Amino acid sequence: MKRLMFLVLFLFSPLIWAENVQVTIDVKGMTCPLCVSSVNQALRKTDGVIKAKASLKTQQAEVIVPEGFNTDELLKSVDKTGYKGSINKVVKQS
């Protein structure tokens, strides 16, 4: 039974894999490492976010989410921290 289950998962799992996308968000108002930490924490707590990393130097956050993810949820998370976010670009990952 275990072999059959493994075989089914092995054969059909590529059909259900979704591609991920990288969303770049411009974040206005970050001035210190605590700002970056707040944005990172808010984004990482957002349901569906796979990975998030904000940068003080670039004033941006790079977020990995599944394809089809509603990016408005990311902007809402940034807005809740008191900073203003806007989508810069969305790129499929290969």
Using one digit for the tens of pLDDT, what is the confidence trace for 27-82? 999 999 999 999 999 999 999 999 999 999 999 999 999 999 999 999 999 999 99
For helices 33-44 and 72-80, angle between their N-to-C axes, nearest 10 degrees:
140
What the block records as the tokens of 30 is 């970050």
Q: pTM for this one? A: 0.79
| H or E segment and range at residue 16 | helix 2-16
Q: Coil, helix or strand for 26? A: strand
Residue 88 to residue 12: CA distance in whole angstroms: 35
**Residues ≥6 apart with Cβ < 8 Å to 4:** none
* Backbone angles phi and psi of 34, in degrees to 5: -65, -35
